Every structure is written in C-alpha cells, then in structure tokens.
Structure 1
Amino acid sequence: MRVYEAFAAALLEHNADTVFGLMGDANLLYVCDYSERGGRFVPAVHEAGSVSMADAWSRMTGRVGVASVTHGPAVTNTVTALVEAVRSHSHVLLLSGDTPREPTYLQRLDLSAVAAAAGAGYEKVYRPESVVRDLNRALQRVVAEDRPVLLDLPVGYLRKDAGTPQPAVRAVRPHAGAPTEEELGDALGLIAAANRPVVLAGRGAVLSGARDELIALSERLAAPLATSLLARDYFRGHPSNIGICGNLSHSVAGSAIGEADCIIAFGASLNVFTSFEGEITAGKKIVQVDADPGAFGSYTRVDEAVAGDAKAVAAAMNAALDAVGHRPATGRLRGIQQALTEHRPADEFADRSAADTVDVRTAAIRLDEVLPEKRVVVNDIGRFVAGVWPYLHVADPGDFASMGAFGSIGLGLAGAIGAAIARPGDLTVALVGDGGFMMSLAELTTAVRQRLPLLVVVLDDGAYGAEHFKLVHHGLDPAYSFNPWPEPVPIAQAIGARGMTVRKLAELDALTDIVADLDGPFLVDIKLDPDVNVLA
C-alpha cells in the first residue's frame, strides 16, 4: 500500500468522513483515493473557506474538522481562518505537505513557521512507514491541546511504500475531574457568604454538559443564571435565566448583575465583553472554575480559582452546600424572575426603521419569530452583530457559532457552509454584513453546488459600519466608509441561488414559507440605515 492510500484509509478509520479543501500537488492523490473509498470531499473556492468550513463543522459536530490544501500559497491563504480557529480553540486538522526537495522550488515555504505564527500546532509525517502513527499523533494533539494542528505530509512521500501501517488510534480528550473538598473550601466559603450571587456559564460549561448541575447550584444559592455570548441560550426557558452577561445584557440582566456581590463563572474566560471591560466584575467577588488553569485571571482578577471540569465541580459544590444545610434568602431571585416575565425585547430600544430601511434590532426580533425554533446560526463579524445577538436566539448554544474570535470579517459565510454540511436536518442561518459578504461572495457557489438549505442574511448598510461610526466619532466624513456594491440578490441569482431584498419589516414574514422547503441557498438582503448605530 502506498502512503497516499494508507493515509486516505486512516482518515476514514478515524471517522473523518468529511474533508473540506482544494486539490493540488500536495493532496490530490489521497483526496481522490479518499473519495473513492466513500469519504466526502467538499471542494471550496478558497483555502481560507475550507478551514472555516472545517472549523464550524467541528463546532457543530464535536468532532475534529479536517481541511486539506496543497503547499505554498495554499497554506498562506489559510492563515486568517486558521488564526480564527486557534482563537476559538477549535478542533481542526489542517493537512498540507512540504514541497519537493529543491531549494529553488517556486512554492517552498516553512510550514512549521506558518503554524507557529498562527498559534497552531505543527506535526509532520517523518517516514513513509510512519504515516498512520503520525496522523494519530496529530489528531491526539488537536483534541488534547484544544487547538488546530497543521500536519505536514511531504509530497515526496505520497507514492512511496507505506509498509504495514499501524492502526488508527482514537484521540482521547483529557478530563479534569472534581477538586478535593480542601481545594473547594475557600471558594465555597466565599460563595456561601454571598448575598447576591450570579451563576455564569461559558462555553466550557456547555462542552462539559453542566446545565443541570448549574441550575441546581443556582437554586441552592437563589442566584440568577447568566451566560457568556458563546454559551448563549444555555438556560433558555428557565425562569431564572437572565441571558447574556456583559455588553449585550438586557436591562433586567444589567440590573441583576450590577447589584450582584459574587459571580461564579464556569468555563468562561471573563473576557472584556463578558466583563464589560471590567465594569461588571469591579467590586465583586469572583470565583472562576475552569479545566484549564491557564485561564485564571487572564482578563480579570479572580478571588478564588478552582481547576476542574465544570460539571464535576458544580456537582461537588451542590453536595457540599447540601451537607452544611445552606439556605439562602430567595426574595431577590423572585423579584428578578418577575421582572423577566414582564420584559419585552422591543422595549430595550426605540425602533429606527424608516421608509426604505429596517432597524437591525427589529429585523432580528422578527427573524426570531418567523424562522423555525430549531435552527443553526453562524455569524460573520461586524457592527451588525450587536443588533442581532441579543434578539435572534437558538434552541441550544451548540447551534451557534461566531466566526469572530480574530475580529476578521469574511469568514462567516464559509463557516455557515460547514455548519450546514454538519447539520443537514436543520436550517442554517448565516448572518453577514455587506462588506463580509462581498469579501466571501465566491464561496456562495459552494453552497449552490452542494445544494445546501442555507439562509444567508445580509445586514446591508452599504458601508463598513464600524468605520462609519468611528469616522463620525472623530468628526470626519462618514461617506469614506460607503461602498457602492452591486446589489447582492442579482449576484446570488446569477450564481444559482435565490433571494429577496427587504426594505419593510413585514417582508420578512415570507420567510416562514420560503425556508420550509429549501433545496439550496436563499439570500435575504435587509437594507439598513448606516446612520443608525446600535453601539452608541
């Protein structure tokens, strides 16, 4: 068996049944063999798109997403998407290969240096006969280190004899268990002494499956339940759920968090958004629980740090509180719950829809009403997200992916394509600004070719929205941020998709019927007024 055949077979043994990428000299042999063996190869338009697809696919499935590209410029094309995956701690294996051993070869590149610059791990196939062992090691590192790894399979090895390959070995995720009673002691003392605590869940709590334990803890402490953005809607439907903590909090949540004297954070980094640049955490006792000790105090000071799995630590805290008969006052929580029942999202802002534009917040509320409750939401990044995130919900935080950890526009559409492939039974909604859409426009052809039931929502203010706001803030002409793009819907139709332009809120109601039977991507271009700044 040759190396490319052994490698293709090993990918499938690892249950890597989908690979995203572009073919070239470094990968075409094993990509074709992989497809012949029954694997699904999804050809992207751009190498960055293939990494974003693998990234979102991994977030939706909980498995390692695989992207395969050729060498040289193909690898440099992936860098922005690779950094996004690194910053998101995504499980992505990027496959490439060293060029032929010729110092003047046109596409030569130091792959290890590229991986290091992006913050990814680097592994290589050292000998033809070690190809499966080296793949095993790369996949184990992806899972163990919670970050992407670039695996270098040199092109010169592909047609060599692989000998008798070792079997594929399943990657195992390290598990941090519950701390000892002694390790919990100081944190429990601080928690038990709090009069107005808040229980906060981050993405780490979601991955741990800690929902029931955290709800039980909130009941023992009479504490409201909050989440970070990436754990959004984790407690949806629970009477104590106050939603997102931070700069996206609604008024009831803002009051509850503002008057709190203790925040108990599980699997949340407490970054500048969750802590509102430190305003929320100031003057409060902070208990941070995380499986990664390196997370403690990264963004804000911590009074007590507890290393361990969120689910196991919360269960241990519940048992300890029961053992001492802890009984908190419940009046404050009942008041918060009553305020939540009376809260209406539209009361948070004044609708600034106009004759031919829609307020992005009003549009998000209507989308939340007309789209199926069970949906996957993937967003690009831009000013529009602040007007969408608080109002367009998901049934579970695992149905949401934000392609914005690196702050780069243009990755969301490819991410949504990967999510749609991962979750073929659900409607996937891509939320993109007009600038990010134009940057990634060509990737829409991938959704057309794959006949994906993908709803692409373009929040279109005809400008680079964040820059528009900053130009106004600096007293400069905001017209410099305007972009006279071609109309998105005719472009989508020329590519083979369908679409509609929305200038009136009521026009969104048609989506209920449209998404009920999608056999390909549908683009909704919602016209916004660039002068309506939801961040102000």
Structure 2
Amino acid sequence: MLVAEAVGRALAAAGVECAFGVVGSGNFHLTNALAAAGVRFVAARHEGGAAVMADAYARTSGRLGVLTLHQGPGVTNALTGIAEAAKSRTPMVVLAADTGAAGARSNFRLDQAALAAAVGATHERAATPDSAVDDVLRAVRRARTERRTVVVSLPLDVQAGEAPAAPHRPLPAPPLLTPAPEAVAALADLLAAAKRPVFVAGRGARDPAAAAAIAALAERCGALLATSAVAKGLFNGDPWYLDVSGGFASPAAAERIAGADAVVAWGCALNMWTTRHGKLLGPDADVAQVDVDPDALHANPRVGLGVLGDAGATAAAAEALLAARGHAAPGYRDRPLPPVRWRDVPYHDETGTGRIDPRTLSIGLDDLLPAERTLSVDSGNFMGYPAMYLSVPDAAGFCFTQAFQSVGLGLATAIGAAIARPDRLPVAALGDGGFLMGVAELETVVRLGLPMIIVVYDDAAYGAEVHHFGPHGHPLDTVTFPDTDLAAIARGYGCAAAVVRAPADLAAVADWLSGPRDRPLLLDAKVTASHGSWWLEEAFGH
C-alpha cells in the first residue's frame, strides 16, 4: 500500500467525515484515497474557498476540518483561509503536498513550516514512509487537543513510498483541562461579592455543555449573559441573555454590560471589539478570564483574575463550590431586562429613491426565513445588519469568519456551514465587494445543489473605506464602482435571482421558499449608503 492510500485510510478511521480542497497532481492520490475510505470530498473552485469551507464546516459541526492542497500555488492560494482558521483556533488539519528530496530547485518549493508559523498555524511533516501515518495522526491529535490549525507537509516522494503494515490505533479523546482548586475558589469569591455580574462567553465556550454549565452558574449568582460575536446564539431562550457584547451590542445591552461590577470572560479574549475599546468595562469592575490557553490570559490589562481551565469544567466547579457554601443571589437579575434586540430599537426608515434601508431589508428577511437557519456573514460595513437583525436558532446557526477580517470569505463560509448542517436553510449575507471576490464558489453552490439564499448588501463600493475616508474629504474613486447587475451574474451560474429595492421586492423570497428550492436564490439588494453602519461609526469615532 502506498503512503497516500494509508494516510487516507487512517484519517477515515480517525473519524474524519468530510474534506475540502482543489485537486492537483500533488494531492490527487491522497484525495482519492480519502474518498475511497468513505470520506466525503467537496471540490471547491479556489483553494482559498476550500480552506474557508473546511474552517466553517469545523465550526458548525464540531468535527475536525480537513483541507487537501496541491504543493506550491495550491498552498499559497489557501493562506488567507488558513490564517482565518488559525487565528480562530479552529481544529483543522491541512494536508499540504510538498516537493520531495528531488525538488530542491523546484519552483513549487516552499518553506511550509515558515508559512504556517507566519499565519499562526502549527506545522508537522510526514518525514518518512515509515512514519507518515503516525505523523499525520499526531497532527490530528494536536488539532483536536490544542484547538489548533495544523499544516502537515506531505512530500511527494513520501506519499509515493510503501507504507508499513501496522494495526490501527484509535486516537484518544482530547483531555479536559480542569482548573486548579485555588483558582476556582478565587473565582467563586469574586462572584459571591458581585452585585451586578455579567458573563461574556466566546468561541472557547461555544459548546452546548459549556453553555449549560455557564448558565447554571449565572443563575446562582444572578449574572446577565452575553457573548462575543462568534458565539452569538449560545444562550438563546434564556430570559437574561443580552445577545452580543461589543460594537454590535444594542443600546440596552451595552448599558447593562457597562454597568456591571464584575465581568467574567469564558473562552473570550475581551478584545477591543468585544469591549468597545474598553468602554464596556466599568472603571471599578472586577474582571476575570477563563481560558485553556495560558497565552490568552491577561492579554487585556483589565483582567485581574486569570483561570486556566476548560470553560464548562470551570463553571461547573465554581457553581458546585458556591452551592456548597449556600450562596445564591439575585445579582443583576433584580429588575426585568428591556428589549435588547436591535430590531426592537426604533429607527428612521431611509428606504427610497431605488434603495432599501439595510435594517428594513434585514427585518423583512428575518420575518420570512424559517427559524431553522444557518447564517454566515462576510466582512464589511454592512455586516452588523445581518449579524444582529437576523435571528439564529443557536450558536451553531451562526458562522462568523472574522478573526482575520478578510473580505470575501462569506460565500465559502456558507458552503462549509451548509454541508455541516444540511437540516437547516443556509443563508449567506455578503457585501457586493466580498461577493465578487468569492464569486467562483457560486458554481460550487449550484453544483452541490445547496438550497441556499444569498443576500448581497449592494452599495457598489467598499463601504467601510467610503465611510472612513469620505467624511475627511478624501477622493473615493478607488473604492467606488459602477452599479453591477449581480442578479444577472448569478443567473449565469444557474441561480434564481432578484433585485431588491423596496420591501415589496422580498416577495421573491416568499416565492422561492414555497417552491421546490431546486436552485440557490441570490438577492441583489441595492441598499442605502448615505452613512456608515452604527458599529463602524462607533469604531471609527473611537
């Protein structure tokens, strides 16, 4: 058996269910081996899209993401997607073909270890035919245990070598990092003294079991619940859930968070976006952080207590300790919450002159789309509107590839998320710039038969730059473009499509939902653009 085939079989035996990529000569045999072993392979149209699909699949499914790449340009094409996954701590293995010993002068030769390190990923190498399977499985263990994106270099001569006969060894389950008892006691002391505690959960707590443990602790000490943007929906259904903290927070939610006398971050970085450049951390508030990564603790200088531990395990231990002490308090739950949804905040509808207000568009879509949906959002000025005005059923229903803040990842994100959750309606929310950057993957949506709704918030510009530099009188010719008929482009790929300029035009959505949904629907929503979004104005005004 060749090493390429043995690696494919070993990955399938290790529980890999789906892989993404673009096939070239360097990963042809390995990809076929994965498919022959029962792993579903999804062919993208660009390696960058394939990387984002694998990332989104892992986030949405909770399973390992796997990406397979040709050497040289296949690897470099995927780097932005790998960077997003690495900076998001997505458990993902990148199977990167590499030049062998005879390729020292090949133009395909790259320092893959240096490239991985440069974007925040870790690196392994299949060193010899005898060690290759173990080397790849070590990468799988690291990805799952450390929550890392791991690039595995697979030299062509190693792939073509003869694999040794070896029995399959099942991979152990990832260990649970339990917090030190003295750290749990310090956290319990902080919460027992708090009168107005707020919990902010991030990607490190984006798990139903962890969410349940955090919610139980919040109930015992009277804490209000919030999330970072990537964990939106984690506490859906809890009457004390404020939704997203930070720049996306509604006025009522921001007021309550800023009024807390204790803030605990659960697997959350408390970065400038989550705290509005620190303005949501009251000057006298005690701040604690729970994380499995020691490097993440105390990155925010306001953190006074850092607890190294799994979010769910730490919350359960703190709740048990407070229960043993007989502590229970109403805390910040002493008065009802005001409405915290953005769609409940009054606004002046600016729809008119052939353009629709993005708030009106988003609320109209929210009313029409089924509750069981998976929302994926691209980057740009527009992104706060779908992220905050469209509801999601739970944290798995929201996929937000924003760690690297790259425009153009949204469509590929929606594909990976849709494959992870075929039971839900996939919804992609994109800007016109991001749509055109990633438009090649529209063919992938059609080819796979995904019943997806793609909403393009189309202002014929890179809106963030327009609203950042325009008010200062700078020329905007480089960031504004002629209006493009995106609906016609989508029809060329095989989609159904409609142009939306007013609420009545959303009838196209109702018609599509009631029909066979046998092809994707793209909405070219011509949105108003007289000013920046609220979150962008707040960020630029800092």
TM range (shorter): over 0.9
Q: Give unpaired runs (5+ residues) of structure 1.
A: none
Larger mean Cα displacement after TM superposition, 132-141 or 98-107: 98-107
> Hey, what does 1:528 align to over in structure 2?
527
Q: Using the TM superposition, name which of 377-386 and 294-303 deviates more.
A: 294-303
Aligned residue in 2 for 1:418 = 416
Q: 1:321 is matched by which residue type in structure 2?
A: L
Identify the range of structure 1 (411-420 vs 203-212) with the bigger mean alpha-carbon deviation: 203-212
Question: What residue in structure 1 maps to residue 27 of structure 2?
Answer: 27
Partner of 1:61: 61
Matching residue of 1:390: 388
State the aligned residue count: 532
TM, length-normalised to structure 2 = 0.93
Deviations 1:248-279 (A, max 9, x none): 11122122112221112222111111111111
The 10-residue stretch of structure 1 (104-113 or 473-482) with the greater mean CA deviation from structure 2: 473-482
Once the 2 structures are TM-superposed, how far is the Cα of residue 344 of structure 1 from its aligned partner? 6.9
SS of residue matched to 1:340:
coil
Matches within 5 A, 1:481-500: 481-484=479-482, 486-500=484-498
**Contact 1:208/1:311, CA 8 A, preserved across alignment:** no
**Which residue identity does 1:527 align to in structure 2?**
K
TM-score between both structures, scaled by the size of structure 1 = 0.94
Give the aligned partner of residue 438 of structure 1: 436
Per-residue deviation at 1:212? 2.6
Q: What residue number does 2:286 align with?
A: 285
CA distance in 2, matches of 1:3, 1:320: 52
- Structure 2 residue aligned with 1:355: 353
Corresponding position: 1:272 with 2:259: no
User: C-alpha displacement at 1:125, in angstroms?
Assistant: 1.2
CA displacement at 1:448 relative to structure 2 = 1.0
Per the TM alignment, residue 470 of structure 1 is displaced from its structure 2 partner at its CA by 1.4
1:310 and 2:337 correspond: no
- Note the C-alpha offset of 1:11: 2.3
In structure 1, C-alpha distance between the alignment counterparts of 2:299 and 2:504, rounded to whole Å:
45
Q: Percent identity?
A: 38
The residue that corresponds to 1:367 in the other structure is 365
Output aligned runs, 1:115-126, within 5 Å.
Answer: 115-126=116-127
State how far apart, in whole Å, the 1-side matches of 2:345 and 2:134 are. 58
What is the RMSD computed on CA atoms of the aligned residues? 2.0
Q: Output the amino acid matched with 1:2.
A: L
Aligned to 1:110: 111
Which amino acid is 2:96 matched to? S
Q: How does 1:251-262 map to 2 (within 5 A)?
A: 251-262=251-262
Task: Give 1:15's aligned amino acid.
Answer: G
Partner residue in 1 for 2:200: 200
Distance 1:505 1:353 in 2: 9
- Aligned to 2:254, the other structure's residue is in SS state helix
Q: CA deviation at 1:229?
A: 1.1
Q: Provide closer, same or farther for how the CA distance between residues 79 and 23 of structure 1 changes in structure 2, counting only shifts above 3 A.
A: same
The 3 A distance-change label for structure 1 pair 114 and 344 is closer
Q: Identify the residue that residue 540 of structure 2 maps to in structure 1.
A: none
The alpha carbon displacement at 1:509 in A equals 4.3
1:512–1:237 Cα change, 3 Å:
farther
Contact 1:13-1:168 at 8 Å conserved across structures: no
Which residue number in structure 2 is paired with residue 42 of structure 1? 42
Deviation of 1:170 after TM superposition, in Å, equals 2.4
1:518 is aligned to 517
Amino acid corresponding to residue 400 of structure 1 in structure 2: F
3-state SS in 1 of match to 2:417: helix
SS in 1 for 2:381: coil
Contact 1:72–1:108, Cα closer than 8 Å, also in 2: yes
Note the C-alpha offset of 1:34: 3.0
Equivalent in the alignment of 1:467: 465
Would the aligned equivalents of 1:359 and 1:532 in 2 still touch at CA under 8 Å? no
Q: Partners in 1 of 2:476 and 2:106 — Cα distance? A: 47
> Aligned partners of 2:148 and 2:188: how far apart in 1?
32
- For 1:245, the equivalent position in structure 2 comes to 245
- Mapping of 1:94-243 within 5 angstroms? 94-100=94-100, 101-170=102-171, 172-180=173-181, 182-207=182-207, 209-243=209-243
Q: How far 1:443 sits from its partner (Å)? A: 1.1
**3-state secondary structure, aligned to 1:301:** coil
Distance in 1, matches of 2:215 and 2:18, equals 36
Structure 2 gaps, min length 5: 538-542
Counterpart Cα distance in 2 of 1:160 and 1:344? 59
Q: Which amino acid is 1:323 matched to?
A: A
AA partner of residue 42 (structure 2) = V
Does the residue aligned with 1:243 lie in a helix, a strand or coil? strand
- Write the deviation string for residues 464-484 of structure 1: whole angstroms up to 9, x where unpaired: 000100122322234542112
Distance 1:177 1:512, change over 3 A: farther
In 2, the alpha carbon distance for the partners of 1:319 and 1:10 equals 41
Deviation at 1:329, TM superposition (A): 4.9
> Which has the larger displacement, 511-520 or 89-98?
511-520
Mean CA deviation greater in 417-426 or 297-306 = 297-306
State the match for 2:85 in structure 1.
Answer: 85
Query: What is the CA–CA distance in structure 1 between the aligned matches of 2:33 and 2:224, rounded to whole Å?
Result: 54
Q: Deviations over 1:216-262 (max 9, x none)?
A: 22222222222211221222222211111111111221221122211
Aligned-pair CA distance for 1:526: 0.9
User: In the TM superposition, what is the alpha-carbon distance from 1:113 to its structure 2 partner?
Assistant: 1.7
Residue 404 in 1 paired to residue 388 in 2? no
Answer whether contact 2:93 2:143 (CA < 8 A) is retained: yes
1:390 aligned counterpart, secondary structure: helix
Deviation digits for residues 316-337 of structure 1 (CA, Å, limit 9, x no counterpart):
222222333334356x624233
Higher mean alpha-carbon deviation, 32-41 vs 495-504, is at: 32-41
Deviation at 1:107, TM superposition (A): 1.6
Give the superposition deviation at 1:178: 4.3
Deviation at 1:199, TM superposition (A): 2.2
Distance 2:309 2:38 in 1: 40
Amino acid of the structure 2 residue aligned with 1:408: S
Paired residues of 2:185 and 2:318 also in contact (CA < 8 A): no
Deviation at 1:518, TM superposition (A): 2.0
Q: What is the distance in 2 between the residues matched to 1:77 and 1:317?
A: 45
Moved over 4 A (4+): none
Would the alpha carbon gap of residues 223 and 105 (structure 1) be closer, same or farther in structure 2, given more than 3 Å must change?
closer
**3-state SS of 2:404 partner:** coil
